[in-house]
Amino acid sequence: MRLVVQALLVALVVVGCDRSDQRYVAATDLGPMIAQLGADEQMDVDEAAERLAGIGGPAVPALESAIARESHTVALGAIDALSQVGSERAVTALVNVARTQTDAELRATALLKLGEGGHAAARPVLEEALGDGSEMVRQTAAVACGALCTSPAAIDRIVDMGLGDMPAVELGRLQLTLVQLMAGEDQAAAAYAREVIRKRTKPILGGEASVDARTRAALIAADGGATDVEPVLVEIAGGSGPLILRLAAIQWLGGHGTAAGVPVLGAALQDRTTAPAAAIALQALASRGVGEARATVLQAPGKVSRPPADG
């Protein structure tokens, strides 16, 4: 079935009579563009989504139909096109997809696009999705929330996910959500987030939790303003825990650490899996004036770029 949308083209014309304004209606066949959303090449998909978005509001019903009736790949492309339209009607369509689609990936993609757009109308569906039965949907909602999800229940859930079941590879994106929330305009929500982070991370950092749990708690606590997490992250960076967490600890030491982390970072230079991150971290410390880091950089020719000259 070919999808056709009525696109209004407005022009002023002079025809030598009393009417000086006419509206012309052109029928535009969207079938080829909809089909192109399922192309093998991402460049072709992006082109189709951009062209459909350029049609604007009149294309929204066709995109909704494509999501409901066409293949999974085409539906994903249609969601992308809807997000680029940006109108109130398009946002409503994305909310409907996020709430009613049976396909978890389509729901998650709609949530991600809503979060990227920062639409206030997206807040209820994003907060609802934090309790979705699909792990993919829950986790996508958490990283898509940004500063939108300001209810206490939503903040509790996001912090719990960060400290618990969020995959380590996605932890940084969840941290960004919390950082955006704490820097957002809702000061009450920001204060609540900091307090929840403090309460939830303190017992983990002070106990005998797993490496994974302590790393997560330290990174999230640091985002919340904690100033005593460096010892934990030094231990993690120099340990034998999961690589993704060691790399996160190394990165933090470079951006926020002191001379206490330099020996661990120096040792990490000898491990090919951590050497690139350690080199960047040492350079960052040296640039911040940490003398021990500067000395380590100078003693590791070929591994780290030379630090900038003093002054």
Q: At what angle do helices 187-205 and 152-163 cross, to 10 degrees?
A: 30
Confirm whether 187 is domain-assigned. no
Final residue belonging to a domain, choices 57, 85, 113: 85
pLDDT at 6: 40
Q: Which residue has the tokens 């350029």?
A: 54
pLDDT at 303: 54
d(CA 136, CA 8): 40
3-state secondary structure of 22: strand
Exposed/middle/buried for 136, CB within 10 Å: 0-12, 13-18, 19+? middle
β-sheet bridge partners, residue 10 = 23
Amino acid at 168: A
CA diameter of the chain: 88
Which of 10-24, 27-41, 78-92 is predicted with the least confidence, judged by mean pLDDT?
10-24
Confirm whether 275 is domain-assigned. yes
Query: Residue 157: how many CB atoms within 10 A of its CB?
Result: 19
Q: Using pLDDT thresholds of 50, 70 and 90, give the confidence band for residue 18.
A: very low
16 has a pLDDT exceeding 70: no
Residue 192 contacts residue 157 (beta carbons within 8 Å): no
311 has a pLDDT exceeding 50: no
Confirm whether 189 is domain-assigned. no
Confirm whether 151 is domain-assigned. no
Q: How many domains does the chain have?
A: 2
Cα→Cα distances 104→40, 97, 138, 173, 218, Å: 22, 10, 10, 20, 32
Q: Please compute the mean of the pLDDT values over residues 55-81 and round it to a whole number.
A: 94
- Domain limits at 276? 244-311
pLDDT at 301: 56
Output the domain CATH number for residue 3. 1.25.10
Confirm whether 286 is domain-assigned. yes
pLDDT at 3: 43
Give Cα 257 distance to the centre of its chain. Answer: 25
Amino acid at 25: V
Confirm whether 185 is domain-assigned. no
d(CA 197, CA 178): 9
pLDDT at 131: 95
Final residue belonging to a domain, choices 85, 114, 132: 85
Residue 252 contacts residue 222 (beta carbons within 8 Å): yes
Q: Using pLDDT thresholds of 50, 70 and 90, give the confidence band for residue 1.
A: very low
d(CA 148, CA 184): 9
pLDDT at 206: 86
Q: Using pLDDT thresholds of 50, 70 and 90, give the confidence band for residue 305.
A: low
Backbone torsions φ then ψ of 22, nearest 5 degrees:
-130, 150
10 has a pLDDT exceeding 90: no
Final residue belonging to a domain, choices 30, 52, 85: 85
263 has a pLDDT exceeding 60: yes
Q: Using pLDDT thresholds of 50, 70 and 90, give the confidence band for residue 25.
A: low
Q: Using pLDDT thresholds of 50, 70 and 90, give the confidence band for residue 241.
A: confident
Which tokens is 274 given? 């951590």
Confirm whether 208 is domain-assigned. no
Residue 82 contacts residue 90 (beta carbons within 8 Å): yes
Buried b (16+ CB within 10 A) or exposed e, 211-235: bbbbbbbbbbbbbbebeebbebbbb
- Enter the DSSP assignment of 305: P
DSSP states of 173-190: HHHHHHHHHHTSS-HHHH
Nearest alpha carbon to residue 289 among 251, 246, 258, 261: 258
249 has a pLDDT exceeding 80: yes
Confirm whether 278 is domain-assigned. yes
Reported pTM: 0.82
d(CA 44, CA 42): 5
